[in-house]
Amino acid sequence: MNKDVKVVDVGPRDGFQSVKEFIPTETKIEIIEGIIAAGVKKIQITSFVSPKAIPQMRDAAEVVAAIMSKHPGFEAFALVPNFRGAEGAVNAGLKEVSHVMSLSVTHNMNNVKKTHQQSLDEIKRIVDTYPDLKLSEDIATTFGCPFEGDEPTDALIDLIGKIKDIGVKEFTLCDTVGLAYPTMIEEKFKAAKAAFPDLIFNAHIHDTRNMGILNTYVALQCGAASVQTALAGLGGCPFAPGASGNTSTEDLVYMLNKSGYNTGIDFAKLLKTAKYAKSVINGNFSGHHINIEEHPCVVTQA
């Protein structure tokens, strides 16, 4: 009685962007191909953002070109914060993007330098200009904001409604700074699905407070269509040393594969790529399996 589950790796975007030192484009491509080879069906391979704001992503077009030419049918997508980003993604050859805006007005201003209305205008311009582009919307700070704290569920429903009216059908509820907990996950997913039964809702969970695997598990039980994680748990915030990024893809896949879910992903292959990533990238890795050595441990006593 295995349940199919779609695990989406966003490490090449959310993970790589946290690394200060530029990761060579060939390394990025190699790691993305390792994730594909392990059986992951969808990957956020880069973002089209200002190279001044995030220099790590300055090779977005090259990464897209390489992956799309080698894996033409693969579900690769990029994050974009505005119309210009979507334009770059389309020009590079992508068929899908996720636009991001924050439920928190303050966070949206800090993150993408826009008011809510300005972000909504960007979405409309993308939809109008690229009717064939698959577009999903990331709602950052759905589960809380470092500036504003908890965000009301009513405001979430209101914002989703406005974006739906522009024509967007798929949403990702993002726990941007790892503030979600099980009952909050349940509240937001239930409210969103009740208000918009025809829309698709995904979960994007950070492991900052050690609830990444639990919250992702709860999101799946609440009907999340897909869950987003990052290879090796690469990520974190440059202003909070030690704080983790996304949930580790391979840690989640191990749990799901064992617990009656069908991910279609080969854990051992994925772990090999995760360990490789750790060996070549100077970053903050929160995954657990990458640190487990194989010899047995007998002195734990209980």
Annotated active-site positions, please?
237
Cβ 71 to a second copy, closest distance in Å? 23
Output the smallest distance, CB 277 to a second copy, in A.
Answer: 16
| Closest to a second copy by CB, 34 or 245 | 245
What lies within 8 Å, CB to CB, of 259 at 6+ separation is none
Which helix or strand (DSSP H or E) is residue 280 part of? helix 267-280
Pick the closer one to a second copy by CB: 110 or 128: 110
Smaller CB separation from a second copy, 31 or 112: 112
Q: C-beta of 1: minimal distance to a second copy in Å?
A: 11
Residue 54: how many other CB atoms lie within 10 Å: 16
Q: Which candidate, 65, 1, 69, 43, places its Cα nearest to that of 265?
A: 43
What's the min distance (Å) between Cβ of 299 and a second copy? 7
Q: How far is the CB of 57 from a second copy (least distance, A)?
A: 10
DSSP for 84-123, please give it: HHHHHHHHHT-SEEEEEEESSHHHHHHHHS--HHHHHHHH
Please name which of 158, 191, 83 lies closest in space to residue 128, comparing C-alpha atoms. Answer: 83
Residues near 52 by beta carbon (within 8 Å), at least 6 away in sequence: none
Query: What is residue 6's three-state secondary structure?
Result: strand
Instruction: Compare residues 71 and 120 and give the one whose CB is closer to a second copy.
Output: 120
C-beta separation of 194 from 160 below 8 A: no
Specify the residue, 30 or 96, whose C-beta has the smaller distance to a second copy. 96
Residues of this chain that interact with a second copy (CB under 8 A) are 10, 14, 17, 47, 49, 53-54, 79, 81, 98, 100, 107, 110-112, 138, 140, 146-147, 172, 174, 176-177, 181-184, 204, 206-214, 217, 235, 237-245, 248, 251, 254-255, 258-260, 287-289, 291-293, 295-302
